[in-house]
């Protein structure tokens, strides 16, 4: 839960959506400001820069992606986009334009708050070089390049570590296929995505309790991967349907 009383700016033209977002963010300890259109939102973001912006993709006066671009031209404040059933290419485009993450409507407040926590963590702690990232039972020491699972040190190949490092520095946030391919292979051609799939599978075999039911290294369909911070008490998620019996090894 947010402890520092961060300010969040909600830019959405639907009053009911702003209302539940306000309730949710205030409950989580944020101070909340609202804007019903792009002009108001841009003005508010400029006059009193917030710590986090929740930006709807469909606004009456300007498109959300246009607003995103304008804010990005002078600020790297964390921005999470809200969109209705966007195509994968559109999500990738938003991330490329500088959105820190996106949430697809309809969504639960817990999901949005988790993303908010993640982007704020990255925004405020990203500069710390000796950060130790924890994701569930996994610990990644970025300074010492040491990876431990439930306290036991595990060996990764160079590319496996590279993949884990990139995801760890974006803990809780989606990283696009494009970005991963670019950083790991210095090559963003999408036909090489099969290399990435296999690499992810290899990494999962080492860091996941059950590689066929991954809880840490999560795939975002058609967009990329996300390293889940793990079960957090502040994010009650109902996981009833998981009495799984896995037979594969």
Partner 1 sequence: MGNVHALWMSLKDPGKLVFSFPKSRLFAADPDRGFRFAHYVRASAWQIIKALALVALTTIVYFAIDYYGLLNFVPVIYLIPVVIAATRWGALPAVVASIAGFLAADYFFAPPYYSFTVQDPQQIVDLLLFLFVALVTSNLAARLKSEADVLRAREKELADLYAFSRRLAACFTVAELILAIQEYLSITLGRRTIVIAGAASGDIGSADHQSLPESIRQEAIAMIATGASQSRTIVEPVTQRVWLITSISTDYVDHGVIVIDLGLGSSDAIDAMRRHVERVLAEAITRLRRLDLAKAMNEANLRVQADQFKEALIGGVSHDLRTPITSILGFMSVLAKLPEIRDDDRIHPLVEAVQDVANQLDGDIQNLLNATRITKQGIHPQREWVDPADIVNAAIKQRSRRLAGHRLTVDIGPDLPLVKVQQTMIEQAFGQLLENAAKYSQTGSTIKVGARSEQDRVVLSVSDEGAGLMPEEAQQLFKRSSRGPRHVANIPGSGLGLWIGNTFVTANGGTLELTSPGAGLGTTASIRLPAVRSETSEVLAISHE
- Which residues contribute to the site for partner 1 (CB under 8 A)? 14, 16-17, 19-21, 23-24, 27, 58, 84-85, 88-89, 105-111, 157-160, 190, 193-195, 197-202, 211-214, 219, 221-222, 236, 238-249
- Tell me the three state secondary structure of residue 77: coil
Contact 13, 36 (CB under 8 A): yes
Least Å distance between CB 76 and partner 1?
Answer: 27
Least Å distance between CB 135 and partner 1?
Answer: 17
Residue 71 or residue 174: which is nearer to partner 1 going by CB? 174
Residue 10 or residue 133: which is nearer to partner 1 going by CB? 10
Residue 71 or residue 200: which is nearer to partner 1 going by CB? 200
Residue 71 or residue 114: which is nearer to partner 1 going by CB? 114
Least Å distance between CB 188 and partner 1?
Answer: 13
Least Å distance between CB 128 and partner 1?
Answer: 28
CA distances from 134 to 146, 151, 154 (A): 12, 11, 15
- Tell me the three state secondary structure of residue 217: strand
Distance CA 164, CA 13 (A): 38
| Closest CA relative to residue 86, chosen from 70, 62, 102 | 102
Angle value at C-alpha 75, between 134 and 107, nearest 5 degrees: 55
């Amino acid at each position: 839960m947010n402890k520092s009383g961060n300010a969040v700016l909600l830019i959405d033209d639907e009053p009911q959506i702003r209302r539940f977002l306000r309730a949710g963010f205030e409950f989580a300890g944020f101070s909340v400001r609202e804007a019903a259109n792009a002009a108001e939102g841009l003005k508010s973001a400029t006059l009193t820069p917030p710590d986090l912006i929740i930006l709807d993709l469909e606004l009456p006066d300007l498109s959300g992606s246009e607003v995103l671009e304008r804010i990005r031209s002078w600020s790297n404040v964390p921005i999470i986009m809200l969109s209705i059933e966007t195509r994968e290419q559109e999500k990738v485009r938003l991330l490329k334009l500088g959105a820190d993450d996106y949430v697809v409507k309809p969504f639960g407040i817990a999901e949005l708050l988790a993303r908010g926590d993640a982007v704020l963590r990255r925004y405020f702690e990203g500069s710390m070089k000796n950060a130790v990232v924890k994701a569930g039972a996994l610990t990644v020491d970025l300074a010492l390049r040491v990876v431990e699972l439930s306290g036991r040190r595990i060996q990764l190949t160079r590319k496996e570590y590279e993949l884990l490092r990139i995801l760890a520095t974006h803990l809780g946030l989606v990283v696009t296929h494009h970005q991963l391919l670019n950083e790991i292979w210095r090559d963003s051609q999408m036909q090489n995505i099969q290399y990435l799939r296999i690499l992810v599978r290899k990494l999962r075999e080492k860091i996941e309790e059950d590689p066929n039911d991954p809880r840490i290294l999560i795939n975002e369909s058609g967009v990329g991967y996300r390293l889940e911070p793990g079960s957090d008490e502040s994010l009650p998620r109902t996981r009833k349907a998981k009495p799984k019996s896995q037979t594969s090894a």
